[in-house]
Structure 1
Amino acid sequence: MPRQRDRADAARLQLLLAVGTDAHPFDRLLDWLEEWHGDAAALVHLTVQHGHTRPPAVPGAVPFLSHEALQAALAGADLVVCHGGPATILEARRHGRLPIVVPRDPGRGEHVDDHQQLFARRLGAAGMVALCESRQALRDALAVGLADPARFAVAADQGAQAAQRAAVARVGQIVDNLVAAASRPRRPWWRAWTRPVRVDGRNR
């Protein structure tokens, strides 16, 4: 569970960082957080869900949050930083937060494919997330958030919960299908162009 806030924390901005439950490590994002936190420690209270990534050297780090604890952390957060998981992004928006999104990069061993990058870039282009694909982009977004947290607030649409859950389920199914297809052995291309030739009643 996230640690209890003391009086000093009460005056600080609440920042939630969540990397989800994927088994791939996401050291890059936590390295960026550690570096940034060295300059901003007096300004923020952190809750960091680091999953299967090594624990970062910052306060408020926990491997996983229960569903209830995550909902409470989202509800209380002024700023939300997360990976490019569709469920996390939509949950943050449902709680009235424009998430600062750093998608996992399969080229760095952070995921099995590039679906987070594609999804986050599409939402970024639509203004539905603050997309950060570099260390400097993340620092710039956090600087804006510290100066004016309202820049990362969106209207929380409680009536859209069912539609959002359906959208998350649909995206999850698409991703599962892509991953399953990628893991299946593929038939050699030349096999698709060859057909058995019958000679004397036998296939050759």
Structure 2
Amino acid sequence: MIFVTLGSQRFQFNRLLKKIDECVADGTISDEVFAQIGVSDYIPQHYIYKSFLDRNEFACTISKCDTVITHGGTGAIIGAVKKRKKVIAVPRLARYGEHVDDHQIQLIRQFDGLNLICPCWDVEDLKAAIQTSKMEQYQEYESNSNIIIESIVQFIENN
């Protein structure tokens, strides 16, 4: 199953939802698709969707999927790679009213540079990104939280 998650911010991402609909309709995507569409007003025709999921619904859905297609939000990407899901990340762009700026491009570059995700720089390249993600192996996410906590503890103990 493919889980599409667009976050809970006030910005639509209709371009991505439409392209996924096209890919399901033309058979590029043959997997079951479920989407959390957020505030987007595009209504998917070829896959199941819900505007928002509660925490339990989200956890259940991500546990069932193999692949996550998402916007370039840090939380969405890290949450999926922590669960060892293949992630295709597409940046929201300001020129389409999808965000206030294009910072998601830089975030996706960082995750791509660590070989954690499959970047999809333009929705028109989604078909290729889907094929690439099926063939590629990505690095497992390693949190540095323990290192940070340990250094804080050492600082406190030494001062």
TM-score using structure 2 length: 0.80
- Return the match for 2:115 from 93, 113, 127: 127
The whole-number CA distance in structure 1 between the counterparts of 2:129 and 2:29 is: 18
> Counterpart amino acid of 2:145?
A
**Percentage of matched positions with identical amino acids:** 24
Q: Could you tell me which runs of 5 or more consecutive residues in structure 1 were left unpaired when the two chains were aligned.
A: 1-13, 167-204
Taking only aligned residues, the RMSD between alpha carbons, in angstroms, comes to: 2.4
* Equivalent position amino acid for 1:128 in 2: L
Structure 2 unaligned residues grouped into runs of 5+: 149-159
Q: Deviations over 1:39-95 (max 9, x none)?
A: 228821111111100222222110011112111211111111000111110000011
Residue among 18, 35, 47 paired with 1:48: 35
Q: Does 1:117 align with 2:99?
A: no
Cα separation, 1, equivalents of 2:94 and 2:106 = 12
Which residues of 2 match residues 129-168 of structure 1 at below 5 A? 129-145=117-133, 148=134, 151=136, 155=140, 160=143, 163=145
Q: Is the 8 A contact 2:72 2:90 kept in 1?
A: yes
Aligned AA (2:53): L
Q: Which consecutive aligned stretches of 4+ in structure 1 deviate over 2 angstroms post-superposition?
A: 40-43, 151-157
1:95 matched to 2:83? The reply is: yes
Higher relative contact order (CA 8 A, sep 6+): 2
Q: Which moved more, 1:50-59 or 1:96-105?
A: 50-59
Q: Which has the larger radius of gyration?
A: 1
> Normalising to structure 1: TM-score of the pair?
0.64
